Structure 1
Amino acid sequence: MYTIKTLNNIAECGLNVFKENYKIDNDSKNPDGILLRSFNMHGMELDSNVKAIARAGAGVNNIPVDAYTERGVVVFNTPGANANAVKELVLTSLMASSRNLFAGVSWAKSLDGKGEEIPKLVEAGKKQFAGKEIKGKTLGIIGLGAIGARVANDALDLDMDVIGFDPFISVDTAWNLARNVQRAMTIEQLFENSDYITVHVPLLDATRGMFNEKAFSIMKDGVHILNFSRGELVNEKDMAAALESGKVGKYITDFPNEAVLKMKNAVPIPHLGASTKESEENCAIMAAQQVKEFLETGNIRNSVNFPNAFIPYTGKRRVTVYHKNVPNMVGQITNVLSNYSLNIADMVNRSRGDHAYTMIDIDNKFNGDLTPTLEEEVGQIEGVVTVRII
């Protein structure tokens, strides 16, 4: 019996993934798995029994990933589960800001109380909100992952020209990308040629403040920039100056703060990118499925700290070992198995940074009494962090 604990409200459809052999106990002190959304786990005491944590969302800033990595706790996120929700809001904001819809609606509401004069005032004042159509304009997309690829394909259907930049694009994403998406060889090429720019990359040292005075100087005058990834991707001082001068025509961001609210022609959206019922449910189901698969089979998909590893599960006894990524580790593990006359049916070894993960399926049937002895002996190998026999 596995115990699952939730630290936030998780959609019921996600919890329903855990059926027989599972117990949902939010008061448990020693669960096998934890599901959460935005709960801050920094400073939280974690029982040694916890094997897996899954965030129903993409970002994991609320989880002390490095500390859990050293303890051998796998941390999952749910990339792509909210991609459609974010894509829809990006395209909505792209069109609405281009047509000055947000400012126009706000102005129209300010006419409350003018009575019969309102229609006449609307006709007289609407010209100040005249915008431009996106058809035939160029959309630059930085980051062509789950969200960026969807934005690219749908923007083409809106008769836009699309140029994308992603030096780390995966093969799977490339297959899903429409052939008419043009490839920018450098980010500067994208800056130079785009009327609108939307960014879909993680916050890293290399991307922090990537929208700055130098970047703006390369862009077209009046460019619109959409940020539904992370607020810190933008140097706010430089953005404020670019908006004031008109170099940047609009800055649409899902991450408002005091500085953003003071910017001319900034469109602050209250972090609504993934705020849909469907997105919440998709994330909950995906998070639950990943934890369930790991607990039952040892397979890992979409981990932010462990390497992804997969062997089709056939019901054979499986040994999983998380260990330091050092020479002869696999040899030492297999030597222990051979000492017990256990034959290897299948094996996978994947590394990620300083650590690696090894899964071994055993051909022999062996008595359950052997399990604790085998776990203990493998666990005594220098550099081994955790051992599980499934």
Structure 2
Amino acid sequence: MERSQFKVLVLNQISENGLKRLPTERYAVGKDLSEPDAVLVRSADMHSLDIPPTVRAIARAGAGTNNIPVKAMSQRGVPVFNAPGANANAVKELVLTGMLLAARNVPQALRFVHGLDPAMADMDKAVEDGKKAFAGFELAGQTLGIVGLGKVGCLVADAAIKLGMQVLGYDPEITVDAAWSLPSQVKRAGSVSEVLRSANFVTLHVPLVDATRDLVNADNIGTMKPGAVLLNFSREGVVNDKAVLAALERRHLGWYVCDFPNGVLNHNERVIALPHLGASTREAEENCALMVVDQLRDFLEHGNVANSVNFPAVGMARESAYRVAIANSNVPNMLGQISTTMARAGLNIHNMVNKSRGDVAYTLVDVDSAVAAAVLDEIGAIDGVLAVRYLPAVG
């Protein structure tokens, strides 16, 4: 049976305005809770954590979920939520910052000014003589290649066009929503290779999965235009750092701008490495918190699923005070067994929705009368059922 109060374990600092969306009469929220029903997280690495069996959901206040053992949670019937697009504007602005820093040789110019002796007699002359080494170029008229046309990629494309740039985009799995929001001036590329060889700037906005690991590597980085700028604000493993270093050393690559400092690239004068600032704005952190808290609350109270990386999107308006939520392996005859079990218990199904995603299926069932604990146990004992929750209406 479900608890009358949900316990939410918080592993990182989460926006207070987001946490306020969890009413205290229904939620206990804290960093030292035992037997939590859910976990709120930002950057904490959960792979080595002993995640309690009481956990019914994990919500990350951000887009990527590499710090969460998603596969293991799927096998337990636990959805993992994220906040896609909530930090998109913050990342977009940092990408634009990176392009401008590289185009105008700002890091080297700053180092030059920092190295000037404040006591020198003729600083003006030293500045005038030295600035010639840092002459750059303007963004207008340059070609920007974008790999990954999700929310961030679309915002970057729109901003670049407004700056007078030509934009070339590639995304073999572009969503309908992203396609609608993509500016019509974006030229479609047929491959990553086409983007790399055609653009003066290339920015990457893809998740880190097997297919995107080392997406830019020793085999293709040499096809980029001499002096091109590569920007990576997605995930560190999307770019092969050794290949980047070699391209920088032979002066083929002009700059590498990323959000992931490491020992291979640090201190290279043509690397602009930021300390993972992509989503580090007050606005982005609050937007992410608000989004995932709302999603988490809707799941815990009503079983609805939105923006989960491992569960199908399932939402159903309540038409009864008695609801059962079931996660199971996506195999034949699961729905039939669940329905039969309810029928044997004399439960009349008022409404039902069932969807699947990969190996996981998820069902919401509204019934016309209360569900006994023994019935929930019987459903949970069906081979392939991963998790069962009883969600009677409150208040």
Q: Which amino acid aligns with 1:31?
A: P
Matches within 5 A, 1:1-390: 1-19=5-23, 20-362=25-367, 364=368, 366-367=369-370, 370-390=371-391
Instruction: Give secondary structure in 1 for the equivalent of 2:372.
Output: helix
What is the deviation of 1:106? Answer: 1.6
What does the per-residue CA deviation read over 1:222-271, in whole Å, with 9 as the maximum and x for residues that have no partner?
11101111222222222112112222111111111121124351112222
| TM value normalised by structure 2 | 0.93
**Distance in 1 between the 2:62 and 2:300 partners?**
20
**Distance in 2 between the 1:238 and 1:46 partners?**
37
What does the per-residue CA deviation read over 1:54-106, in whole Å, with 9 as the maximum and x for residues that have no partner?
11122222222222222222211222111111110000111121011121112
Query: Does the CA contact (< 8 Å) of 1:96 and 1:102 recur in 2?
Result: yes
**Distance in 2 between the 1:6 and 1:271 partners?**
21
Q: CA RMSD in A?
A: 1.6
**Distance in 2 between the 1:240 and 1:182 partners?**
30
What is the deviation of 1:171? Answer: 0.5
Q: Which amino acid aligns with 1:108?
A: V
Q: Which amino acid aligns with 1:122?
A: V
What is the deviation of 1:303? Answer: 1.3
What is the deviation of 1:336? Answer: 1.6
**Distance in 1 between the 2:372 and 2:310 partners?**
27
What is the deviation of 1:349? Answer: 1.6
What does the per-residue CA deviation read over 1:202-226, in whole Å, with 9 as the maximum and x for residues that have no partner?
1122211121232123221111101
| TM value normalised by structure 1 | 0.95
Moved more, 292-301 or 370-379: 370-379
Query: Does the CA contact (< 8 Å) of 1:351 and 1:357 recur in 2?
Result: yes
Q: Which amino acid aligns with 1:183?
A: R
What is the deviation of 1:317? Answer: 2.0
Moved more, 347-356 or 222-231: 347-356
Query: Does the CA contact (< 8 Å) of 2:305 and 2:313 recur in 1?
Result: yes
What is the deviation of 1:4? Answer: 1.6
Moved more, 261-270 or 302-311: 261-270
Query: Does the CA contact (< 8 Å) of 2:47 and 2:68 recur in 1?
Result: yes
Q: Which amino acid aligns with 1:17?
A: R
Instruction: Give secondary structure in 1 for the equivalent of 2:133.
Output: helix
**Distance in 1 between the 2:87 and 2:372 partners?**
40
Instruction: Give secondary structure in 1 for the equivalent of 2:184.
Output: coil
**Distance in 2 between the 1:356 and 1:113 partners?**
67
With over 3 angstroms needed to count, the CA separation of the structure-2 counterparts of 1:40 and 1:241, relative to structure 1, is closer
What is the deviation of 1:314? Answer: 4.1
**Distance in 2 between the 1:217 and 1:384 partners?**
50
With over 3 angstroms needed to count, the CA separation of the structure-2 counterparts of 1:237 and 1:293, relative to structure 1, is same
Q: Which amino acid aligns with 2:219?
A: K
**Distance in 2 between the 1:252 and 1:355 partners?**
38
Query: Does the CA contact (< 8 Å) of 1:51 and 1:74 recur in 2?
Result: yes
**Distance in 2 between the 1:261 and 1:46 partners?**
35
Aligned residues: 386
Amino-acid identity (%): 47
What does the per-residue CA deviation read over 1:368-390, in whole Å, with 9 as the maximum and x for residues that have no partner?
xx331221121121111111121
With over 3 angstroms needed to count, the CA separation of the structure-2 counterparts of 1:270 and 1:25, relative to structure 1, is closer
What is the deviation of 1:45? Answer: 2.6
Query: Does the CA contact (< 8 Å) of 1:307 and 1:352 recur in 2?
Result: yes
Query: Does the CA contact (< 8 Å) of 2:168 and 2:186 recur in 1?
Result: yes
Q: Which amino acid aligns with 1:243?
A: L
**Distance in 2 between the 1:114 and 1:232 partners?**
45
Give the ranges of 4+ consecutive aligned residues of structure 1 lying more than 4 Å apart after TM superposition: none
Instruction: Give secondary structure in 1 for the equivalent of 2:265.
Output: helix
**Distance in 2 between the 1:303 and 1:128 partners?**
50
**Distance in 1 between the 2:44 and 2:217 partners?**
32
Q: Which amino acid aligns with 1:347?
A: M
Instruction: Give secondary structure in 2 for the equivalent of 1:238.
Output: helix
Structure 1: 5+ residue stretches without partners: none
Q: Which amino acid aligns with 1:195?
A: N
Query: Does the CA contact (< 8 Å) of 1:194 and 1:223 recur in 2?
Result: yes
Query: Does the CA contact (< 8 Å) of 1:37 and 1:56 recur in 2?
Result: yes
What is the deviation of 1:109? Answer: 1.3
Moved more, 267-276 or 87-96: 267-276
Query: Does the CA contact (< 8 Å) of 1:244 and 1:264 recur in 2?
Result: no
Q: Which amino acid aligns with 2:374?
A: T
**Distance in 2 between the 1:175 and 1:313 partners?**
31
